[in-house]
Amino acid sequence: MMIYDSFYEALAMQAAAIETAVPDMPEHRFSLRYRRKKKSLIRAYERSRKKQESFPAAFRKMRLRRKIGIAFLITALALLLLTGGSAFVYYRISGFHGYRQSTHTDISFEGWEGSPDTLYPRYHLTYDLGGWDKEILCDESDKYSEIYRKEDKYIHYTYEMWNRYIEHYPGSDFDEMHPGGETVPGRTLHHTGADGSGRLIWTDGRYWLSLDYSGISYEEAMEIRSSSYAPIYRITYDMSDWETEVVCDDAVMYFASYRKDGKYFDFCIEIKEAYQNTRLNTEGTAIESRNVNGHEAIYFVQPDGVSQYLAYDNGDYIFDFGFNIGYDEALRIIGSIKLI
């Protein structure tokens, strides 16, 4: 009996979460900002679940993928209760799957476990270190560290997620964390040790990076520091005459918005885990399957008959776009996105 009580308790919480987190769809074109701000039904359910001591311990031990499946089942049942039993259509396109209803579609991406959990490919040194012995000291999702040795010389190169780094120094700014250094070119802090060793520290806003060195000159260390490189996905199509706004640029999402003469093109790339329970305004329209850049994509024309939405999985990340320009022109822009 306790299991049934827990199920209905979870169902009731999920219905309450839906009622508060999912308002009526706005009467304007779908906005990536809008869906970005909406709370995930799955995460709302997870937060609610963690607060309930009466939930079976067996559920807490389930794998995340199974929990998501259960959450979707509960979501579907709750939606039926809230809509008075109105029908919905389940569909699957590539790794995307969702429930289409009369005014909207709730869509998620499955099979995201094991995919990259930070947005940008890892940093690496492009400086020629041939002839040095290399050892990887740490290779985790939020920290990487390697050391190079040659005779009595060494180079210790590290980067880690910005949030992880500042956890060690809560409430402190850069100077407080690294007192006594001097600022050198490249917005870099330089420390010199009593034994003649040196340390360079800098940040790109996502990662903190450091280069400890001994047996080489400061000038060579700066050359090595300057060779630190992480390729990023960007549009290479000429959009110089468009107004550009970078709305979000962090470890899980990059979102850039382009505007010109009433036209817009929104480009978003995000980790797969972040693309869960996205709500799309599909009233009066249907989601289609399209082939884009060799990938199966979801595509639909929004209710205004002009704005369009397109999304696909490139193997590592989700790329999604909103635009009101011609479809062929949009494909040319999308096709120009490259790692640079």
Where is mean pLDDT largest: 11-15, 142-146, 203-207? 142-146
Last residue of a domain, one of 209, 229, 249: 229
What confidence score (pLDDT) does residue 153 get?
97
89 with 9, same domain?
A: yes
Residue 292: partners with Cβ closer than 8 Å, 6 or more residues away: 299, 310, 312, 331, 334
Domain count, the chain: 2
pLDDT confidence of residue 257:
97
State whether 225 and 239 are in the same domain: no
Question: Quick one: pLDDT band at residue 170, thresholds 50, 70, 90?
Answer: very low
Q: Which of 166-170, 294-298, 323-327 has the lowest mean pLDDT?
A: 166-170
Same domain, 54 and 104: yes
Q: Are residues 18 and 47 in the same domain?
A: yes
Indicate if 260 and 134 belong to the same structural domain.
no
Do 242 and 296 have their domain in common? yes
Tell me the sheet residues that pair with 96: 93, 109
Above 70 in pLDDT, residue 23? Answer: no
225/142 Cα distance (integer angstroms) = 20
Residue 22 pLDDT: 47
Do 96 and 178 lie in one domain? The reply is no
Domain end residue (candidates: 174, 202, 229): 229
- Same domain for 53 and 154, yes or no, is no
Same domain membership, residue 112 and residue 239: yes
Residue linked to tokens 């039926």: 80
Among 229, 260, 289, residue at a domain's last position? 229
Residues 267 and 251 in one domain: yes
Stretch 236-249: mean pLDDT? 95
Rg (Cα) of the chain, in Å, rounded? 24
Mean pLDDT score across all residues of the chain: 80
Query: Residue 302 class from Cβ within 10 Å (0-12 exposed, 13-18 middle, 19+ buried)?
Result: buried
The two tokens of residue 191 are: 């420390």
Q: What is the domain range of residue 40?
A: 2-116+233-339
192-206 pLDDT, tens digit per residue, is: 988 999 999 988 877
Residues 237, 112 within the same domain: yes
* Cα distance between residue 208 and residue 165, in whole Å: 7
In sequence order, what E strands does 140-215 have?
Answer: 143-150, 153-161, 182-184, 188-192, 198-203, 207-214
- Looking at the structure, do residues 22 and 112 belong to the same domain, yes or no? yes
Task: For residue 166, give the CATH number of its domain.
Answer: 3.40.1000
